[in-house]
Structure 1
């Protein structure tokens, strides 16, 4: 395995799934427009999500990184293992198996931050996990690929896109850092920016999905790879949720880790495929990468829709059971948000008055 040092492997500052393959005839203009627009939108989305991050909670995650550790175990433990088992189960050819393994070894992508917001996940943990997994990918991607690819005799050497990983990391950290600063200095304005970014993120997901469908038309399709691209994200979501649940994480963190596990950085996968395979294999492998990106967007939108439907049902049940108190049942939400953080944070939640009786006791 080697590092890329050529300039043609440099990708834009865009960690959102959707980096388009080069060399496809008749799609150069679409590729350029999509790359520029998505890069700008991703920068805005990450800046806006940074406006939801509180320094105190972010520091709590970094000082007690139990949630981050569980997420990294899912990202570089469960996903590469799942990729290897899928390659064995479907009896893939060596170059196909390696492509699936590359996808499984990639860090989390920006799509996970967008989906986490829409399922009321822990944004501090989500941003921390995406950043840490991108940093860890510098060492974990070569290690995982070395361990799992020994089962096949490869005729080509795999090239790790370190330059693209660095650009992805910079495009993630810089906008988020600005967003955290804005939230610290101007919290009211940060809420408005967050709402705008959430809308832009939703639009970006739709753009990625539509673009993937357009680019996939007329391509040579391998049914086995399409089946794997469909089930792989689902396995990641389910395995991440179960592992987080076994690690006694809160429901909010379980949702976050589940989303982060199933959402891979397609850009890095495509960059590595370009650097490692010849043209005769690239069309089929690009098809797999785009299909994975498309399906993980569709799966994510279905998860968001299911969660929002459950949320509305839960709200209607609360109103039906407590018609005289519309806000009944919401006092537990801050407790979930602060679960597994500092003990002082939890104490602060329990001391918050939640009704007239408690306020009267505090006054006494």
Structure 2
């Protein structure tokens, strides 16, 4: 494929002169909404999620960065390659091809952190990957774009939004560092902040999605191919990221984390780069892809979270069926009126579950009996 994304007639806009002001007005509103809402979302969200980070575990990831290395390989290896293969295998206009390739070369977005929390992923690894991918993007993002567009006739220079990358780093590191400090000094209060932050983060994600749909209604084009790619692209990222993490013998928790980090891209950075590098006529054609990608990655994330919750609930039900002691525990908790008795039973039952050996009626009877009666029975 040969792309010629200059400001000449090689990349004509689909819209007429009457449609162009509408596209520009929509883009101006979107730029303001995404800038303000994203700044608020990133700040509050990263502070609350930083309250789940433990200094000891974070240092272990930094000292032995195998998980981070696998995540960076997925982010800047699999995603740009996937974008390039999708572009050359489908008949796309040059400006649309550039939008897809730029999206594939962007670092990970903060949306992956909230989804990682909801699927019980490794929050220390997730935040480390998001921060490291943003730092690495300063050098690797221009390199990927140069290598994959080497065979294209690019008459228009691409502008890397270094200022936007720097702002993203500040919005990541400062709130996370403050959240880590709060978790270190006040661990009980940090759990409350984490739960509230997760709820607020989910509400803000929905606000961004609704705002994107409402404000972008004038910029959607009739070309179905870019919309199809925006739907399958994050799914490919999630699947390939999970498989690569599995092949490198990462834990199940790390596999879920790397999968979500791979499919989630920094939408705001992609939009900023398109705005800095292309003309207004070209933006009308290009803007719909990152907006659609952002909406579909939100939808994919919610579907993954729902599937994980159902899977987790199914495992609990199967475990209760196989372990009769858990059914006895459930009946005992309903009948018990004393918190101390319930706590003592749970402690005894947990020890019995962890200790290998025969499990019969006598064992269950002795587990429910108070300690004094057990000693007398002996």
Give the TM-score range, shorter chain: 0.7 to 0.9
The residue number in structure 2 matching 1:289 is 290
**Offset from partner CA, 1:88-120 (integer Å, 9 cap, x none):** 111323222221111000000010001101111
The residue number in structure 2 matching 1:55 is 55
Distance of aligned partners of 1:124 and 1:280 in 2 relative to their CA distance in 1, 3 Å threshold: same
172-181 or 206-215, larger mean C-alpha shift: 206-215
The residue number in structure 2 matching 1:349 is none
The residue number in structure 2 matching 1:215 is 215
Q: How many angstroms apart in 2 are the aligned matches of 1:112 and 1:357?
A: 35
Distance of aligned partners of 1:30 and 1:315 in 2 relative to their CA distance in 1, 3 Å threshold: same
The residue number in structure 2 matching 1:5 is none
Give the drift of 1:44.
1.0
> 1:218 aligns to what SS in structure 2?
coil
Matches within 5 A, 1:175-254: 175-221=175-221, 222-254=223-255
Give the drift of 1:216.
2.7
Q: Is the 8 A contact 2:26 2:219 kept in 1?
A: no
CA RMSD across the alignment: 2.2
Gaps of 5+ in 2: 1-21, 330-348, 356-378
Q: How many angstroms apart in 1 are the aligned matches of 2:159 and 2:26?
A: 28
Distance of aligned partners of 1:357 and 1:135 in 2 relative to their CA distance in 1, 3 Å threshold: closer
Q: 2:351 aligns with which of 342, 350, 355?
A: 355
Matches within 5 A, 1:108-147: 108-147=108-147
Give the drift of 1:38.
3.9
The residue number in structure 1 matching 2:359 is none
1:64 aligns with 2:60: no
109-118 or 206-215, larger mean C-alpha shift: 206-215
The residue number in structure 1 matching 2:368 is none
Give the drift of 1:302.
0.5
Matches within 5 A, 1:93-104: 93-104=93-104
Q: Is the 8 A contact 1:41 1:204 kept in 2?
A: yes
Gaps of 5+ in 1: 1-21, 329-352, 360-364
Distance of aligned partners of 1:30 and 1:288 in 2 relative to their CA distance in 1, 3 Å threshold: closer
**Offset from partner CA, 1:54-84 (integer Å, 9 cap, x none):** 0000000000000000000000000000000
Q: Is the 8 A contact 2:23 2:219 kept in 1?
A: no
TM-score between the two structures when normalised by the length of structure 1: 0.82
51-60 or 317-326, larger mean C-alpha shift: 317-326
Distance of aligned partners of 1:239 and 1:138 in 2 relative to their CA distance in 1, 3 Å threshold: same
Q: How many angstroms apart in 1 are the aligned matches of 2:28 and 2:105?
A: 28
TM-score between the two structures when normalised by the length of structure 2: 0.79
